[in-house]
Amino acid sequence: MAWHQAMQDCAPLVTRFAPSPNGRLHLGHALSAIVAHDLARASGGRFLLRIEDIDGPRSRSELADEFRRDLEWLWLEWDEVSAQSTRLASYAAAAEALRARGLIYPCACTRKEIEAAGAKMGSDGLIYPGTCKRTPPDPARPAAWRLDADEALATTGPLLWDDDLAGPTAAHLSDLGDVVLVRKDLPASYHLAVTLDDAADGVTLVTRGSDLFAASHVHRTLQALLGLPVPRWHHHALLIDVSGQKLAKRRGSPALAERRLAGEDGRMLADQLRLQHLQLGT
Ligand code: GLU
């Protein structure tokens, strides 16, 4: 389904923008926020802001305030704001349910050990080679908990998910493998937290950049395992810089806050991004 068709969807949509306060927002974030905002508003629905602040040591609370000012500057109004750090108990409960059903297993491997085990590269980093699934780790070592992809598939059977741009897509885990659902240092990983939050917030259209497309295979699987409602997805094309690379803060894309504080017109910038996005065709 094309962008303009999605906008004509008659049911009011609930969308969200879910930034992590471990770095400043840049243009790519602004586009994601605009896409989520505009799709919700065009349908008469709701646009939510969720601060993904569970990454304790890397999360900086002052950035959450900065994000709000950035969105206001872009003339994007949200209906509700929530923070992941208030939801840790729900992540722990879901992890416990998966553990009780044998769908996750402990893994004490370090990144070095995973590399040394000859792990293959998937679309989002190394595919875990299953070391701790074959031989459970020493309980004295700190462990993360990984989804047992084979067990998950056997439980759910074939699943489909629907992306506005890619259309109906068969869920598969072969590209991501046994992803971490509970981190060594946190009660959830991105995958578990975002899936539970989108369900808890009643999000009906998950919008985000196409760099996160592969993650939706995992999220669709978790929805089936945990009996959660299934939204639709909209993975939008990414903005690229003059050298043809994805815009990212590490490549020096200017932070929105810097542009805001320099007196640039945020509303005009948002409109330019809308135009650029239309030209990308998504
Ligand atoms: N916190 C994630 C990020 O900033 C959110 C991704 C998503 O929208 O699911 O990339």
**Tens digits of per-residue pLDDT, 237-272?**
998 765 666 665 556 678 999 999 999 999 999 999
Query: What CA–CA distance (Å, rounded) separates 235 from 216?
Result: 10
pLDDT digits (tens, 9 = 90+) for 100-112: 999 999 999 999 9
Whether the Cβ atoms of residue 180 and residue 70 lie closer than 8 Å to each other: no
Query: What CA–CA distance (Å, rounded) separates 243 from 11?
Result: 40
Over range 217-240, report the average pLDDT. Answer: 96
Q: Looking at the predicted structure, is the pLDDT value of residue 4 above 80?
A: no
Q: What value does the mean pLDDT of the chain take?
A: 92
Q: Is 120 exposed, middle or buried (0-12, 13-18, 19+ CB in 10 A)?
A: exposed
What pLDDT score was predicted for residue 279? Answer: 85
Domains recognised in the chain with CATH numbers = 1-86+237-282 (3.40.50.620), 87-200 (3.40.50.620)
Give the C-alpha distances (Å, rounded to integers) separating 211 from 72, 154, 187, 239: 26, 27, 25, 11
How sure is the predictor about 56, in pLDDT bands with cuts at 50, 70 and 90?
confident
CA of 135 to the centre of ligand 1 (A): 33
Query: What CA–CA distance (Å, rounded) separates 268 from 185?
Result: 42
Query: What CA–CA distance (Å, rounded) separates 60 from 78?
Result: 21
pLDDT digits (tens, 9 = 90+) for 38-54: 999 999 999 999 999 99
Query: What CA–CA distance (Å, rounded) separates 150 from 148?
Result: 6
> Using CA positions, which residue lies closest to atom 10 of ligand 1?
19
Residue ranges lining ligand 1, Cβ < 6 Å: 18-20, 52, 194, 208, 212
How sure is the predictor about 94, in pLDDT bands with cuts at 50, 70 and 90?
very high
